[in-house]
Chain A
Amino acid sequence: MEQSSKQFTGAEILIRCLHEENVEFVFGYPGGAVLNIYDAIFHQDKFKHILVRHEQAAIHAADAFSRSTGKVGVALVTSGPGATNAITGIATAYMDSIPMVIISGQVPTYAIGEDAFQECDTVGITRPCVKHNFLVKDVKDIAATMKKAFYVANSGRPGPVLVDIPKDITAHLHAFEYPETVQLRSYNPVTKGHLGQIKKALKLLAEAKRPMVYSGGGVVLGDASEYLIKLVQSLNIPITSTLMGLGGYPASDKNFLGMLGMHGTYEANMAMQECDVLLAVGSRFDDRVIGNTEHFLSNPRTIIHIDIDPSSISKRVKIDVPIVGDVKSVLADMIDLIAAEKPVQNTVALADWFKQINAWRNKKCLTYAQSTEFIKPQYVIQKLHEVTKGDAFVTSDVGQHQMWAAQYYPFDKPRRWINSGGLGTMGVGLPYAMGVQFAHPDAQVACVTGEGSIQMNIQELSTCLQYNLPIKVILLNNRYLGMVRQWQEFFYENRYAESYMESLPDFVKLAEAYGHVGMRIENPSDVEGALAEAFSPKLKDRLVFMNFLTDQKENVFPMIPGGKGLSEMILAENL
């Protein structure tokens, strides 16, 4: 009794909520509106606060912590500019459905609406890029709100939830009681798939002549990898994955056709276009994945779609057999059904289908012309894969290097490939690597980046020093905003408007100025040795910034031009 009537400040209550949720890391940046909260943090040692150098990086790091662990990422920012700096991070997490709780300070309740110093309508500004948000107006609501925030963020289709707390609320006193359960009458996500639909789906897959599985980020987020593998192997059908789904199915398996989409493999895109029964799992028929919808639909096929979010089903493409549910649960039901019913498959047709797929595979669409003069970016990624034995966590920024990392670093495990797929946010790579390294202190973490992207959050090299994060930065430096340049080459007759980067810093000196190890690699023959050194025991505890001067005009192939269909790929010249 005495315990429950003890009074705590709102800030202390907030900290206790984070303890109740077993939060290990809070990524943040202090400021006026959150000073009470920071004072409460000073008095606790159950979670570690990580001081970043820019609020955007706090959100990205918490986001990557979540992507690489499956736990809810937590970030803390102050009001006004603290919150607006966080927006890009929040929108990035929202587009990729990452469970996060973001706490933002707000001006005191009595000053709201008066254009107070560092005031902004954070709940209003974030509304379109969060799963849900709250403004806490009374100290007695903090605990229940935090419980709801964690529950909403991490259930159904996950996403970021923001809790905005005015400064006076963090000073008010109240007893602390954390609710054990949470019930929202307006929010009851379906987890179990409809059995009738699942049976129908299985029958279609078994009878298909050209079946195909297309898996997405939902498989990774839903920890359904193991079940996906079982399903694909028991039916022996080909599978492709979206950028976000990589690692959800082992890339080294014979049934895997590689990534599909704008820069997908020839075999994956052709099979996607030509299949007769398609099983989409935790994927959303994104424009970068299926290209032109009309072209996609010009070849009739029956589509089964498993997704936890009903609004993802029949959004861009009409679905024949929708199954709303948690992918893991639905896949488990399908596997049980296969074991019970032992469906008879059309093995003759299936053999023909694989024959066709192998013919497409023989195009070897990822072949590139090796050079002794210039470092090929693809080669750097291949060597990175070799040196790290394919077992590193790889984060990337956005652009050509991101696509090369996705194409040439085959992932065999989920949650190893960390990048911004939906929003395509340049600048995520380094803070993502930080979040991953905090979550996995002994793991090899590589940040594949470009000279454009890395400069969007380069200040975080300072955070990396403060916390001794031994990240390996793999900078594929072609002195161009490569993907912009590629589009200008193909679609704007080589008019390279503002895509060339002049006056780049000396990245080696820059890394050294931040207290890290810098390397400059100019010759193809030095690539492997440099990587081996960076990942050697000698530099195990150091951040190594590797500036690879790569071929300036290399392009990403295959490529589906904007507005074109899956089978209308541009291949590399020599193919």
Chain B
Amino acid sequence: MRHIISLLMENEAGALSRVAGLFSARGYNIESLTVAATEDPTLSRMTIVTSGSEAVIEQIIKQLNKLIDVVKVLDLNDGKFIERELMLVKVKATGAFREEMKRMCDIFRGRIIDVADGSFTIELTGSGNKLDAFIESLDKAAILETVRTGASGIGRGDRILKV
């Protein structure tokens, strides 16, 4: 099953490679991994999308907790949470495509953030599923380039991951 694991770790050189190394060394899956400093510059917040049986996910959480630089770990799937991912897509916008792309972008509540003679760049935010659906709905020949950030997640309401 797909799990979104959120963690806070010391914002130090090499911290990211400790996590990435752990996943490759123990053969765990990584679907995506995002990381950036928090409002407290000594801490980094990382969101990892992974998949595995309950036993594997339990081991992943334990192994992450075992890393000395990791301060807190939360499996977002243990409760209610919101997931968002940002995607930038550059699409062909010539002839009939130009109107079609504008329409698709509106339907998915995206924004066109760059307009050129032959292309649009569309910004779209949502769950991974929504971004997948957008890509699916486009004519493959129209897609010039896609960039995805990987998922970020946050617990709903009182679920707060903080030191």
Contacts and interface: CB of A to CB of B under 8 A. Distances in A.
B55 A310 contact: no
A128 B17 CA distance: 10
Given A310-B65, A311-B62, A127 B71 contact: no
Contacts of B10: 186
A186 B70 contact: yes
Given A127-B14, A127-B18, A309 B66 contact: yes
B139 interface: no
B59 interface: yes
Nearest to A152: B68
Nearest to A187: B68
A321 to B, nearest CB: 16
A123 interface: yes
A128 B13 CA distance: 16
Interface residues of A, number: 18
Nearest to B24: A128
A187 B9 CA distance: 11
A339 interface: no
Contacts of A184: 68
A311 B163 contact: no
Interface residues on B, range: 20 to 34
A184 to B, nearest CB: 7
A318 interface: yes
A447 to B, nearest CB: 32
Contacts of B58: 314
A132 interface: yes
A479 interface: no
Nearest to B62: A311
B13 A186 contact: no
B63 interface: yes
A310 B58 CA distance: 10
Contacts, number: 39
Contacts of B63: 311
Interface string A312-342: 0011001000000000000000000000000
Contact of B68 (A123, A124, A131, A309): A131
Nearest to B10: A186
B66 A186 contact: no
Contacts of A311: 59, 62-63, 65-66
Given A186-B9, A186-B10, A124 B62 contact: no
Contact of A186 (B14, B17, B62, B69): B69
B25 interface: yes
A532 interface: no
Interface in B9-64: 9-10, 13-14, 17-18, 21, 25, 55, 58-59, 62-63
Nearest to A148: B68
Given A187-B68, A311-B59, A311-B65, 12 more contacts: A124-B17, A127-B17, A132-B69, A135-B14, A184-B68, A186-B10, A186-B68, A186-B70, A311-B62, A314-B55, A314-B59, A315-B59
27 contacts: A123-B14, A124-B17, A127-B18, A127-B21, A128-B25, A131-B68, A132-B68, A132-B69, A135-B13, A184-B68, A185-B71, A186-B9, A186-B70, A187-B68, A309-B66, A310-B62, A310-B65, A310-B66, A311-B59, A311-B62, A311-B63, A311-B66, A314-B55, A314-B58, A314-B59, A315-B59, A318-B55
